[in-house]
Amino acid sequence: MKDNDLEIAIVGIGCNFPGGEGLDNFWNVLLEGKNCAVQIPFERFDQKEWCDPDDNKAGKSRTAKAAFADGFNEFDQRLFGITDAEMEQMDPQHKMLLQCTYRALENAGMPMEKASGSRTGVFLGLMNRDYELTMANVNPVIINHCTGTGIAMSIAANRISYTFNFTGPSLSIDCACSSSLVALHLACQAMRQGDCEMAVFGGVNCIFQPRVFVALSKAKMISPGGTSKPFSNRADGYGRGEGCGVILLKPLEKALQDHDHIWGIVCKTAVNQDGHTVTPITKPSMVQQEELLHRIYSTGTYLSDIQYVEAHGTGTPVGDSVEADSISKVIAKARPQEVGPLLIGSVKSNIGHTESAAGVAGLIKVLLMMKHETIVPSVFYSEESSSIDVQALNLKIPTKAEKWVTSREVCANSS
């Protein structure tokens, strides 16, 4: 049975982002305004071989920095009933997703036995295939019966369904940086049309393949310093980040019946594409961003209520400007004047651009701010260094932690 008005509750969260595994460590990074970019560890790849600040050198990355999650490729396979042979051939992204799904169920207070056999869907965003690229260059003699499932993007979701005995839809999607929020959109749709009674969604990004850095460097997308500086005139590209976030969803009515802890409620989601409104294909379209926002806020229902927008905010001069203008035109300037400027920020200033996990990272940030009733600062930003006219746009970018005083927090998330 289809129910387009079904309200969906967020009842569990698991994450591992730069700064330490778990919600408490992530909150400390946000509250203290930390930036987690570090030199690329040798265990990932040899930066002396692959990195050079000279953009004209072929085959080189312009940066030797990124933000990395703790416990890379560490995995207790016995906890998940996985054999040693399987574990040795598994993409580290698959391992991180299993761990964060376990943490999301734990955070929801839901025993694995209770979740087992439920019509729970799994919707995941994955973008980079570092492990597959690495495996393409190994000696063929190590390829065995576990290699195919170990590198398959589909198995990232399917292995979660198999391990936890979830019987709802199970799929992995790649739509670049929007992957994890599109996964949320699909999860909500599936629940509203009765395909599943609960849903797990999220995204993951593991960094250990130097060729991706080289490609981003030659496209001039990546910051030489390895840091994202959203809405700053010092922005020079995005810094890459690693991590994983997984969220458990339930219909709000069922969550209330079950006396679940409710982190937040998903009111509305929408998705679109730029089409051929801009050139080149990687450039964001202000026309299509505004069209999407108009669809969400067409009734004016949330315009006065919305207090904060977690922007995509990668730290690219073109992208930040387009996004700020779109948010301003459709939301900030359309609100009653007495409401004051609209707060915006971007988690990428803390943990870098986690690419296919970027959307869920931003959402978890917002949920933590709601829990602690605190707006966290946007790192690298100051009024003096702003790349946008915040006063003219009716926007405000926080530069220090401030108490969030409101009777009901209403936020938007973009990727």
Catalytic residue ranges: 177, 312, 353
Report whether 313 contacts 351 (CB < 8 A): no
CA separation for the pair 412, 369 (Å, rounded): 13
Of residues 85, 84, 71, the one with CA closest to residue 43:
71
Contacts made by residues 62-65, CB under 8 angstroms, sequence distance 24+:
62/217, 62/222, 62/224, 63/213, 63/217, 63/222, 63/223, 63/224, 63/225, 63/226, 63/239, 64/39, 64/40, 64/226, 65/37, 65/38, 65/39, 65/40, 65/225, 65/226, 65/227, 65/239
Report DSSP state, residue 369.
Answer: H
User: Locate tokens 């040693």: which residue?
Assistant: 84
Q: Which amino acid is at 144?
A: N
Determine the Cα–Cα distance for residues 395 and 182; give it in Å rounded to an integer. Answer: 26
CA 238/CA 380 separation, integer angstroms: 13
What span, in angstroms and rounded, lies between the C-alpha atoms of 182 and 180?
A: 5
Q: Are 265 and 9 in contact (CB under 8 A)?
A: yes
Strand pairing category for 198-205 and 120-125: parallel
Write the CB contacts of 73 (distance below 8 Å, at least 6 apart in sequence): 92, 95
Read off the DSSP letter of residue 357.
G
Cα–Cα nearest to 349, from 41, 39, 36: 36
CA-CA distance, 110 to 125, in Å (whole number)? 23
